[in-house]
Structure 1
Amino acid sequence: MGDCFRLVDLPPELLVHIFTFLPRDAIHCCRKTSRYLYQTIKFSIELRYQVDREFAHVTDNPASLLPISERIAKLGARESGFSTMTPSWVRTIPVPFTTAGLYELSCGLFWLGESGREALRYIVLPNEPPGPNPSPIQWERIALPSSRSRIIDFGLAIDEHDLVVIATFTPTAPIAQLDALPLRRALAVSSGVVKLEFVTVSSPNGPHPQAKGPIEFPATQWGIPSVIIETVGDILVFVAAYPRVPIVPDHVYVYNWKTGSLIWEITAENSTYFGAVFLSTGVLMLPNTTTATLELWLLTPGQTAPVLTLHLPRLVPGIRIATMTARGEPNPSVSGRRNPAVPFHSSVEDSIIVFNITFPAPPNLFTPIFLFFAHRRALLSLLAAHPTPGDALDYADWGPDICRWINAGGLVTDWITTTSGQRCIALPARETASFLVLDFNPLTVHAASSVLPAEDDPFEDYGIWAEAVGSRLPVHVVSSRQQYDSYNGVSLDDARIIAFKKNMLRQLREVDVYFFG
């Protein structure tokens, strides 16, 4: 017989290329088979980067110009910094304008709305330490073209489309009538037109070239609505509701934002929908407060009902949910431009979704607030396991093993931009408090010593749920050594904790950027 071919006879560079197709655990197994493979794998910078990325659940950015050795160093510094809550550096950024209640954090940009709601402001968050004489960070400004219009809210799709979608309200009443009222009151009582404007983020901030034009809705007599805007690929989800006008139903619109064509639309009882999350490019999740469920919808034409409904724990008769929001970062993407300054970003598939649930406050008591978390991948797996349209699952059949519930009554919950990848930032509502980071990466949890124990029923005595609230998703909690006495809220992205300082008038005046990496 001829000579037997052996894997180790291949050139090292070809072996390394083959091993790049293996998962992390398989690479570790190959290391143990021979001294030659051990040395080949150990000294391969490509395989080290792949193993480190899999452990941290991040995706490489092929547009990055950094060599692999620097990417490894940055990823290691980031993971080490978050694991011990030790930032590489801190920078304070003034907010030199009066803000409105609008904000967003995405793709390394931090956004605020100007008072008066006629413009948005944003900064590019720093990636490098400030140095001894740092140049001031400039707030860019995107103004509305019409002086009569006011910004309701906005949504971002920066990496994919260089896009900000701005929902505006233009009163139809004469200006003289509105000038006699404060802005908020004027918009609340005025009839007007709601419009979606599509604007480029990069200069000169004009109409987006891929959008056919603004999307305009029929005139409303109920004033300014509460809205949700989410964009992935060509799909735009727009939710419009009037919580203060009980007779007006909620509307959920799904559009192709480039052509302006409506894909499907549903209506629901007032105050049903307060959040919307893309689980994937083809699946939308709508938390339903009326039925206490999570609805999974397909983003294909003609949908009239969710393909899968996930029930939350049964409520005690007479108890109802007031609001339920949801958020996951980053969003899925069909394609996109990547910032070459960012070598890697959190995996979309492995990221967590955070749900914020509030209940009507009992007399003379605080509003009950709860958070619960689930991995995006776990929710999609439920859909794969129950593909029959119209299926519904009780919480006991889907939730306890993949969810973690937290009583958030003692936390600052004013800011929704608290998750990035598998991490969540929390700030206790005390005069002096530490930052808390909840890490849901199962590999980190496995290696950690401070893991919150699983709880079959963490809320047994709250009188809200009529069944056990299983809460067994493992989580590792890290607390900063330093305590802070001046922050009114915190946000999180892939590499930063952003902490907010307000003045005596509750106006945002500074943001402190804590950089990890």
Structure 2
Amino acid sequence: MTDSAVFRLLDVPPELLVHIFSSLPNEALHACQQTCRFLANFINSSVELQYRMALNTAGYADNQESTMPFVDRIAALRTKEAAFGEFKFSWRRHIPVTFAATGLYELSAGIYFLGESSRQALRYIKLPSEPDTYDAPPVDWERIALRSRNNTVIIDFGLAIQEHDLIVFATFTPTPGQQLPTTTSPNTEGLVKLEFLSMLTHQAHPEASGPIEVETSRWGLPNIILEIVGDHLVFVVRYGRAVVDPPPDNVYVYKWRTRNLIKHITAAPHTYFGAVFLTPEVVVLPNTTAASLELWRITSAESQPALTLHLPSILPHARLRIFAARGEPNPSLHQMRMDPRLPFSASVESSIIFFHLDFLHEAFLLFVHRRTLLALLAAHPHPPADGLRYAMWGPDVCRWLDAVGMHTEWITMSAGQRCVVCPRLGPASFFLLDFNPHSVPSPVTRHLPPTDDAFPTRVPDEAVWAEAVGSRLPCVIGASKQYYVAYDGACLDEERIIAFRRISPGAQVAAIEVFYFG
């Protein structure tokens, strides 16, 4: 860089330079620092640029709703990362479940939901951000109910609180003259419908044109997956309880405001068990039958996935029963309503997607970065018709966890690039998996190479797999120093680990315990 160029750069107002440089990735900023002393000093002395570089390294995105000074944001980021990295929570809070709950649950935007046993309402709490002191605000279970009662029950629900203030109930209403399904008479005929409510008002959502009547069921309550991002809603319907002559699986893609069906995917019974938005227009569907990941462009007219990624080959005697998925946070098309209290949030682009695979006697968790799946999609505009074998795409970008002995029934285990794992038998530690490539092991964590047997991240090939299972995605695994009496599961958000207790095995949640990290 010439002297004249430096002088011209000096004439630019510092605020404008910061604005320009703040849009650059860390690699470009590091390169700028190497060009001359002026840029090195300027970048090193800018609190805002140092904050944005720290955000990029940690895998977070800035919250523009926050008014916190940048110097305090950097301090908050370092405190949070140190707390999670060293497994040092600030405080712990016990919250009883004061109602009869059912198996419905969800965690989003710092709000934890449980279904009522009547299946006609949900209860929810705003998870605490303060310890339980005498002047701390109380944590009360609030209630949001179906607007149409009668015999209608909630099958499950989906959330888009930060993007749309939206909660969507998937409901089942028996055909007139029939009763609700029971364990002895499960095959009641009825209508499967989607109902749209505002989380703020608990009334009909003002942007939705009305409920959507999806299909008539002759097999009672279906198993469903419901995801909303941007203008689109993905609704997966399968009938896991239908043994004799089961219907095909259906994946419906709607424009939720207008109720327009823009895509309809059908598959053999018991094929789909999950769905995750990778972008507002790309969805990954785990295929249980083919043991593969299907990447679909939901706005295209194509009747086939844009890319199919196969898992390692499965032995003939093994049957994949469950293939669920989770990726938190979801992408968005519109401005998100962020909590101004939080200076930053997990980056969608850096987040991990995890898959829960359940066989008859084996269980596994599979982790892959969202950006990796999108890069594979971009790199294969014309992929082979039969997809990519695992050896062609997976070993270097995936991490497997042998999950036998772990609680895997809770799908809300991940947030950003972290995932919490809770052993079934206790007393035991919580395990916290960190997939940030920049994470550095602390005294309570270790960076596990693929051959480390201290933690079961190597998958035994002889169990269900017909080929070697490569598992080389870097991962730092931390464990709580303290052993805890066995919990019945745990979930994770960007500030907390939330652990569950049941009164007895198989019973519903009786209490939750919040471990706050910041």
TM > 0.5: yes
The correspondence for 2:420, drawn from 425, 430, 441, is 425
1:9 corresponding residue in structure 2: 10
Alignment of 1:97-112 (within 5 A): 97-112=99-114
1:188 corresponding residue in structure 2: 186
Alignment of 1:133-172 (within 5 A): 133-145=135-147, 146-172=149-175
In structure 2, the CA distance between the partners of 1:41 and 1:131, relative to structure 1 (3 Å rule), is farther
Secondary structure of the structure 2 residue equivalent to 1:300 = coil
Which amino acid in structure 2 is aligned with residue 452 of structure 1?
L
Deviations 1:333-361 (A, max 9, x none): 001322322221111111111111111x2
Contact 2:193 2:215 in 1 (8 A): no
Deviations 1:439-486 (A, max 9, x none): 000011589971111259933443411111111101000111111104
1:115 corresponding residue in structure 2: 117
2:395 corresponding residue in structure 1: 400
Aligned residues: 504
2:314 corresponding residue in structure 1: 315
2:129 corresponding residue in structure 1: 127
2:205 corresponding residue in structure 1: 208
Deviations 1:126-147 (A, max 9, x none): 2233333433212111111213
CA distance in 1, matches of 2:50, 2:92: 29
In structure 2, the CA distance between the partners of 1:131 and 1:41, relative to structure 1 (3 Å rule), is farther
Alignment of 1:430-509 (within 5 A): 430-445=425-440, 450-455=446-451, 458-504=458-504, 506-509=507-510
Deviations 1:407-444 (A, max 9, x none): 10021112110000100000111121111100000011
Contact 1:296 1:309 in 2 (8 A): yes
The correspondence for 2:229, drawn from 229, 232, 237, is 232
CA distance in 2, matches of 1:249, 1:33: 61
Contact 1:56 1:441 in 2 (8 A): yes
2:278 corresponding residue in structure 1: 279
How far residue 34 of structure 1 moved from its aligned partner, in angstroms, is 5.6
Contact 1:171 1:187 in 2 (8 A): no
Select between 23-32 and 408-417 the one with higher mean Cα deviation: 23-32
Contact 1:287 1:294 in 2 (8 A): yes
CA distance in 2, matches of 1:394, 1:295: 13
Contact 2:461 2:467 in 1 (8 A): no
Select between 294-303 and 209-218 the one with higher mean Cα deviation: 294-303
Secondary structure of the structure 2 residue equivalent to 1:70 = helix
CA distance in 2, matches of 1:33, 1:447: 34
Secondary structure of the structure 2 residue equivalent to 1:265 = strand
How far residue 33 of structure 1 moved from its aligned partner, in angstroms, is 5.7
Select between 32-41 and 280-289 the one with higher mean Cα deviation: 32-41
Once superposed, what is the RMSD of the aligned Cα atoms? 2.3
CA distance in 2, matches of 1:451, 1:245: 45
1:60 corresponding residue in structure 2: 62
CA distance in 2, matches of 1:190, 1:267: 22
Deviations 1:41-76 (A, max 9, x none): 333210121111011110111122322233222211
Contact 1:167 1:195 in 2 (8 A): yes
Contact 1:173 1:191 in 2 (8 A): no
1:174 corresponding residue in structure 2: 177
Select between 135-144 and 21-30 the one with higher mean Cα deviation: 21-30
How far residue 25 of structure 1 moved from its aligned partner, in angstroms, is 3.5
Which amino acid in structure 1 is aligned with residue 334 of structure 2?
S
CA distance in 2, matches of 1:345, 1:488: 28
Secondary structure of the structure 2 residue equivalent to 1:410 = coil
Which amino acid in structure 1 is aligned with residue 449 of structure 2?
P
Contact 2:425 2:486 in 1 (8 A): no
Secondary structure of the structure 2 residue equivalent to 1:209 = coil
How far residue 502 of structure 1 moved from its aligned partner, in angstroms, is 1.6
Contact 2:399 2:471 in 1 (8 A): yes
How far residue 211 of structure 1 moved from its aligned partner, in angstroms, is 0.7
Contact 1:225 1:240 in 2 (8 A): yes
TM-score by length of 2: 0.92
How far residue 26 of structure 1 moved from its aligned partner, in angstroms, is 3.7
1:409 corresponding residue in structure 2: 404
Select between 59-68 and 230-239 the one with higher mean Cα deviation: 59-68
How far residue 119 of structure 1 moved from its aligned partner, in angstroms, is 0.3
CA distance in 2, matches of 1:346, 1:429: 28
1:222 corresponding residue in structure 2: 219
Contact 2:130 2:136 in 1 (8 A): no
Contact 1:63 1:339 in 2 (8 A): yes
How far residue 12 of structure 1 moved from its aligned partner, in angstroms, is 4.3
In structure 2, the CA distance between the partners of 1:33 and 1:320, relative to structure 1 (3 Å rule), is same
Whether 1:197 and 2:195 are equivalent positions in the alignment is yes
Whether 1:94 and 2:120 are equivalent positions in the alignment is no
CA distance in 2, matches of 1:375, 1:68: 28
CA distance in 2, matches of 1:14, 1:51: 17
CA distance in 2, matches of 1:5, 1:383: 41
The correspondence for 1:381, drawn from 371, 375, 381, is 375
Unaligned runs of 5+ in 2: none
CA distance in 2, matches of 1:54, 1:199: 35
In structure 2, the CA distance between the partners of 1:124 and 1:460, relative to structure 1 (3 Å rule), is closer
CA distance in 2, matches of 1:174, 1:271: 29
Contact 2:500 2:511 in 1 (8 A): yes
Secondary structure of the structure 1 residue equivalent to 2:233 = strand
Which amino acid in structure 2 is aligned with residue 83 of structure 1?
G
Select between 124-133 and 52-61 the one with higher mean Cα deviation: 124-133
1:364 corresponding residue in structure 2: none
Which amino acid in structure 2 is aligned with residue 162 of structure 1?
D
In structure 2, the CA distance between the partners of 1:439 and 1:143, relative to structure 1 (3 Å rule), is same
CA distance in 1, matches of 2:461, 2:281: 39
Using the aligned pairs only, state the percent identity: 50
In structure 2, the CA distance between the partners of 1:390 and 1:199, relative to structure 1 (3 Å rule), is farther
CA distance in 2, matches of 1:342, 1:434: 28
Secondary structure of the structure 1 residue equivalent to 2:216 = coil
